[in-house]
Structure 1
């Protein structure tokens, strides 16, 4: 049994431009805000060329809103911020002649090609992880091309030895065993790098499996999962997994996980 706290959270960057939809002219000093569950997480302002860069942003899904005096507010819902990557999102807003404010809402679409992608591999989001039968990072990583897994263990990343694969949780290097103690319900994203390893990871000769945990919530909630094979086979496989997160006190949050505990009976 192990406990992990969300201290070294990985973050991403949002970059884009705000322009007038009618003539394509850049709108300087427009406000860009990033919200989650109705709460503003962070934000920024465009420069003279209408461009903005907002960082660091904790990995996750957000609603991004662009506004300017005399223009309709435009909001994109479900914008995905990936750890260690740049998300590009431009805004084309229209002039408003109405006294009352009006907000235009659009659904965010993940681009087919990432402009800042220099490494090969793939990323798996929390929505995709929840639908997978695997229980740990190794099982999730095996869904990415170039990763070979055997019996739930990472065997090879593009032919390298298993010992050459490095594991990171919220930017902190850990052993492969520590990555297995992270519950699926506490995982926000799993990134697998199979080639072109960035310099920030140092002397890695194999692949990278980077796990980003979910951010602490403003309201207390948790998840419990129990699995047993006691009534189905003689192996007596039991698994108990739960996750609790929420505020510690006003304006402070805490994130704690109690991970997998497995018991097996050995059969001669």
Structure 2
């Protein structure tokens, strides 16, 4: 009886080992394709590029690039594949790749802008994913294109000019620029730039901030319902992610206005890999608008 009781678990153990070895063998034969999708003009990462692989049997594999332009397609059986990388507003990239067994293949590419002249297009559809389940409570995502639509007293757009158009957000006060969200105090707002805490980012009665639109990649504004990683504040969170500098060539911008003058310089350190971007703003109220209206304006930042 004791011998029979021992044989049964032993057989199960052998079967489990065989199944594990078979699964490992199958995984080992699969390949992987990964790389980065970038803008051919300035080297900026492209988020949302659809990368697909199709073999001669019509099997389809694919992935989309993330915030940094990275895409990863795993568990690719060995063979020849037709690659297609597509993104709205850019030329589609086509290529043929041979993936070997257990190969980890790196394939990065750049997409160029595509210009087409179209006739009138009318699109009608029912909105999918609508309703409370598809909404993140209290979150508003802001992009530079949104900021540039709002009139600004400066030459370039400014994040604060867009924020004050959102419901529940008011910017009033002295030259420090007090920012109130849903009745909270200014000290209860958390402002981050690439994860770094920024103090007093708003200036001149809410007309200007430390965030011109030409350095912003995306901004998440939480008026409530934010996670534990944003702890320490009670009112709101403004999480700004700056964009990378131009990885292809050096370029710059200088603007002079009665209130604020600004300069921006960017370019590659290691071409196509590492870049830098410098942006600075300086108030020129005492040298500019104060002279024009002949009235003292003690506002400087």
Q: TM-score range by the shorter chain?
A: 0.5 to 0.7
Q: TM-score, normalised by structure 2?
A: 0.52
Q: Following the alignment from structure 2 to structure 1, what is the Cα–Cα distance between the partners of residues 282 and 245?
A: 23
List alignment gaps of at least 5 residues for structure 2: 1-29, 69-79, 90-126, 203-207, 297-301
Identify the residue that residue 9 of structure 1 maps to in structure 2. Answer: none
Identify the residue that residue 184 of structure 1 maps to in structure 2. Answer: 213
Q: Cα–Cα, structure 1 residues 65 and 209, in superposed 2: closer, same or farther, change >3 Å?
A: same
Q: Cα–Cα, structure 1 residues 172 and 248, in superposed 2: closer, same or farther, change >3 Å?
A: same
Q: SS at 2:147's partner residue?
A: helix
Which residue of 158, 166, 178 corresponds with 1:136? 158
2:50–2:86 Cα contact (<8 Å) kept: no
Q: SS at 1:66's partner residue?
A: strand
1:168–1:211 Cα contact (<8 Å) kept: yes
Q: Following the alignment from structure 1 to structure 2, what is the Cα–Cα distance between the partners of residues 210 and 241?
A: 23
Q: Cα–Cα, structure 1 residues 121 and 239, in superposed 2: closer, same or farther, change >3 Å?
A: same
Higher share of residues assigned helix = 2
Which residue of 224, 233, 250 corresponds with 1:195? 224
Q: TM-score, normalised by structure 1?
A: 0.58
Q: Kindly name which structure, 1 or 2, has the bigger radius of gyration based on alpha carbons.
A: 2
List alignment gaps of at least 5 residues for structure 1: 1-27, 42-57, 83-98, 229-236
Q: Following the alignment from structure 2 to structure 1, what is the Cα–Cα distance between the partners of residues 60 and 230?
A: 40
Could you list the per-position Cα deviations for residues 63-120 of structure 1 after superposition, in whole angstroms to 9, with x for gaps in the alignment? 231214334879899x7849xxxxxxxxxxxxxxxx9947484649x98669786441
What is the deviation of 1:261? 1.2
Q: SS at 1:260's partner residue?
A: strand
1:216–1:255 Cα contact (<8 Å) kept: yes
Higher share of residues assigned strand = 1
User: Aligned pair count?
Assistant: 200
